[in-house]
Amino acid sequence: MTRFVTRDPAAAAAATDALRDASKALAAVVTVTAQALTPHPEDPFTAEDALAALEKWVRGEARRRRRLAHTLLLLHEAGVSERALADRIGLGRHAVAQMVADARVEREAGA
């Protein structure tokens, strides 16, 4: 079980409130990008279709990564350490720290 340690209860509560929307946004980006990879069984599916679906998935990596980073930032602000995030999702601690920092910069640049 992961411990949530908060230094600023108000910021942690705000981050927790934002997690539902962040999770839905991440799921939407993944779903839309993956949709072409799962054609209807009765529809024709050519090699060109497969290539176009793969291209869409690869090109969508930046959007998925930004959404993931934003979600990690909110979890961190809700009290989960970067180390615990890295352990739970199977990424390196440095990668998680960089994603959290990138999300913070992006949020501050947009505000």
Q: What is the pLDDT of residues 83-105, one digit of tens each?
A: 999 999 999 999 999 999 999 99
pTM passes above 0.85: no
pLDDT at 111: 62
* Residues listed for the chain: 111
According to DSSP, residue 5 is labeled: -
Rg (CA), the chain: 17
Q: Residue 66: is its pLDDT beyond 70?
A: yes
What pLDDT score does 36 carry? Answer: 85
Please name which of 65, 70, 93, 64 lies closest in space to residue 81, comparing C-alpha atoms: 93
110 close to 70: Cβ distance less than 8 angstroms: no
Return d(Cα 68, Cα 96) in angstroms, integer: 10
Residue 62 three-state SS = helix
Q: Choose between 7 and 18: higher pLDDT.
A: 18
CB 65 within 8 Å of CB 99: yes
Integer Cα distance of 92 and 95 in angstroms: 5
